[in-house]
Amino acid sequence: MAQQVCPFCQGKKVVQLSPASPPQLCPVCNGMGVLEDPGLFFVYEITLQLAANVKQFPFQQNILNRPFRWLFAMATSTGPFSALIQDGSTQRNFSNQEVHVNNLFGNSQNPFPLLTPYQFNQKGQISGTMSDLSGAPNNVRMAFAGVELN
Ligand SMILES: [Zn+2]
């Protein structure tokens, strides 16, 4: 991922703010000497119409030409559902079973921030399975908000 030399400490990791004070950890880069490219905001949304009571319906969304760092989970639907999300390129699951929407997703006004951001590879996939819990046709939109990296 793209990094640039910290413009405040010029990569020295420490700064001396006055001749009388000792050098201190650079407050801009937190002593790393580099700044990470924050990336550009991007949302992957997966739209599905689940039949009533359908179980373990597979879904897949391809990641485009840049690595994607997933930061927020959001969903809207006409009824409750459960989902198991997987990184399709590594087969890594994000839970032990399909998780109830209320235990995994927020919404656009109150998104659920991932406790640690997760990076999908470029040309990878957000994949997994979903089940309807409403007993009726269920229009689901899952949104994965984050940043595209260079
Ligand atoms: Zn610095």
Same structural domain, 4 and 54: no
Helix (H, G, I), strand (E, B) or coil at 101: helix
For residue 40, how far is its CA from the centre of ligand 1 (angstroms)? 22
Same structural domain, 70 and 102: yes
For residue 115, how far is its CA from the centre of ligand 1 (angstroms)? 26
Same structural domain, 30 and 57: no
For residue 8, how far is its CA from the centre of ligand 1 (angstroms)? 5
Residue 128, pLDDT above cutoff 70: yes
For residue 72, how far is its CA from the centre of ligand 1 (angstroms)? 28
pLDDT score recorded for residue 2 = 66
For the entire predicted model, the pTM comes to 0.81
63 is in which domain, residue-wise? Answer: 40-148
Q: Show the beta-strand stretches assigned E in 1-137.
A: 3-5, 14-15, 24-25, 34-36, 40-50, 57-62, 68-77, 81-87, 92-93, 99-100, 112-120, 125-132
Structure token pair of residue 72:
């927020």
Same structural domain, 6 and 66: no
For residue 61, how far is its CA from the centre of ligand 1 (angstroms)? 38
For residue 102, how far is its CA from the centre of ligand 1 (angstroms)? 40
Residue position matching structure tokens 């969304």: 61
From CA 132, how far away is CA 67, in angstroms rounded? 30
Residue 9 burial (C-beta neighbours within 10 Å; 0-12, 13-18, 19+): buried
Phi then psi for 102, rounded to 5 degrees? -70, -20
Same structural domain, 33 and 72: no
Please count the structural domains in the chain: 2
Q: What is the pLDDT of residues 17-70, one digit of tens each?
A: 888 989 999 999 999 999 888 899 999 999 999 999 999 999 999 999 999 999
For residue 148, how far is its CA from the centre of ligand 1 (angstroms)? 24
Could you give the angle at the alpha carbon of 44 between the alpha carbons of 135 and 92, nearest 5°?
80
